[in-house]
Amino acid sequence: MTQTGSALPPPSRARRLLEPLALLALLAGLWFAMTAPPDATQGDFYRILYIHVPSAWLAFLAFGVTAVGSIGYLIGRRRSWDRVAAASASVGVVFTALTLVTGSIWGRPVWGVWWDFGDARLMSTAIMFFVYLGYLALRRTVEDPETRALRSAVLGAVAVIQVPLVYFSVNLFRTLHQTQTIRPDGAAMEPEMLLALLVNVVAFTVLYAALLARRIEVGRLEEIAEELTPAEPAGRAVQPPPLGEVGGG
């Protein structure tokens, strides 16, 4: 195959190290999560917090990066910005799904229900999840690369308004969900538990970086495949009827 100007460069050393580093960080996070003391009221049920909270924070970060990439594309019209925005949105959707699943698992023994449709945090997070699923669906339904990037950038720049709404929903609406565990005036948890939480936040951040780098690489490969695939000429799918059917003959 003849190489073109869009040939994929080899991965950098930093990118190659991210995945094993993420694995080591996750193992360290697991050790801290399992050795931290149990909660006084929730017992060991609370340990899912070490997955739930980092997942939520990284979803916020991922969608923030999507917004930055979207705004960067709107300003400079560079495909690299669009690639970062799309990759981060994909990873963010995964973290949001993990947030919703672990929240339901946590809620069942603590609250007595898997889901509460009246809870502001649960519903706003679910809406954010479906909005970014729509963002990913939009990217699949628009064939022209420039049009796809432009429309996605507009949605990616606007949709990020949900992040502060989701985060502050527990303060704006006093429903079932508890308020923030870590606040500017301090953390409402024991130092050992806080350390375990912060270690897992760092571990999930490294995991996000590794997934983002991999997804950007896949996005670049998809662009190359798209460039090498010849466009379907208009009207090719329309076939003339057999001569014997013309005029009823």
Question: pLDDT value at position 113?
Answer: 83
Q: What is the pLDDT of residues 14-72, one digit of tens each?
A: 677 899 999 999 999 999 999 988 877 777 788 899 999 999 999 999 999 999 999 99
Answer whether 25's CB lies under 8 Å from 206's CB. yes
Chain length of the chain:
249
Query: Pairing mode, if any, of strands 182-183 and 186-187?
Result: antiparallel
Q: Is 186 left (phi over 0), alpha (psi -120 to 50) or beta?
A: left
How far apart CA 61 and CA 95 sit, in angstroms, is: 10
For residues 249 and 231, what is the distance between their CA atoms, to the nearest angstrom?
36
pLDDT at 191 over 90: no
Q: Is the pLDDT of residue 6 over 60?
A: no
Q: Would you state the pLDDT for residue 12?
A: 62
pLDDT at 4 over 50: no
Provide φ and ψ at 3, rounded to 5°.
-75, 145
Helix (H) or strand (E) holding 182: strand 182-183
